[in-house]
Amino acid sequence: MKDTVITPHTLFANLGLTEAELTGGTLTVHSPIDGRALADLHETPASDMDAILARSKAAFKAWRIVPAPRRGELIRLLGEELRAAKDDLGALVSWEAGKITSEGLGEVQEMIDICDFAVGLSRQLYGLTIASERPGHRMMETWQPAGPVGVISAFNFPVAVWSWNAALALVCGDPVIWKPSEKSPLTALACQKIFDRALVRFGDAPDGLLQTLIGGADLGKSLVASEDVPIISATGSTRMGRAVAPVVAERFGKCILELGGNNAMIVGPSADLEMAVRAIVFSAVGTAGQRCTTLRRLIVHNSIREDLVARLKKAYAGLPVGNPLEEGTLVGPLVDAEAGAAMTAALDAARVEGGTVHGGNRVTKGVPANGVYMEPAIVEMPGQSATVKAETFAPILYVLGYDDFAHALDLQNDVPQGLSSCVFTLNMREAEEFLSPAGSDCGIANVNIGPSGAEIGGAFGGEKETGGGRESGSDAWKSYMRRQTNTVNYSAELPLAQGVKFDI
Ligand code: NAD
pLDDT by residue (tens digit) across 18-32? 999 999 999 999 999
Tens digits of residue pLDDT in 163-190: 999 999 999 999 999 999 999 999 999 9
Ligand 1 close to Cβ of residue 289 (< 6 A): no
CA–centroid distance, residue 351 to ligand 1 (Å): 28
Average pLDDT over residues 299-328: 97
pLDDT of residue 4: 61
Q: Indicate if 96 belongs to the active site.
A: no
Q: How far apart are CA 308 and CA 324, in angstroms?
A: 28
Q: Say what the alpha-carbon torsion angle 72, 89, 180, 147 is, to the nearest 10 degrees.
A: -10
Query: CB-based contacts of 46: which residues, under 8 Å, 6+ apart?
Result: 218, 219, 222
> pLDDT above 90 covers what percent of the chain?
98
Nearest-CA residue for ligand 1 atom 21 is: 220
Tens digits of residue pLDDT in 428-473: 999 999 999 999 999 999 999 999 989 999 999 999 999 999 999 9
Residue by residue, what is the 3-state secondary structure of 405-416? HHHHHHHHHCCC
Q: How far apart are CA 125 and CA 143, in angstroms?
A: 7
pLDDT of residue 72: 98
CA–centroid distance, residue 471 to ligand 1 (Å): 15
Q: How far apart are CA 346 and CA 342, in angstroms?
A: 6
The confidence band for 365, taking pLDDT boundaries of 50, 70 and 90, is: very high
SS3 content of the chain, % helix, strand, coil (to 5): 40, 20, 40
**pLDDT above 70: residue 1:** no
- How many Cβ atoms sit within 10 Å of the Cβ of residue 66? 17
Ligand 1 close to Cβ of residue 391 (< 6 A): yes
Q: How far apart are CA 351 and CA 447, in angstroms?
A: 31
pLDDT of residue 159: 98
Ligand 1 close to Cβ of residue 241 (< 6 A): no
Alpha carbon separation from 377 to 151, 309, 362, 486 (Å, rounded): 33, 12, 11, 57
Ligand 1 close to Cβ of residue 260 (< 6 A): yes
The answer to whether the Cα torsion of 425, 428, 433, 435 is positive or negative is positive
Tens digits of residue pLDDT in 243-274: 999 999 999 999 999 999 999 999 999 999 99
pLDDT of residue 5: 74
pLDDT of residue 137: 98
Strand ranges across the sheet with 295-301: 356-359, 377-380, 396-402, 295-301, 263-267, 420-424, 444-447
Q: How far apart are CA 360 and CA 348, in angstroms?
A: 10
The confidence band for 6, taking pLDDT boundaries of 50, 70 and 90, is: confident
Q: Which of 182, 258, 391, 465 is catalytic?
A: 258
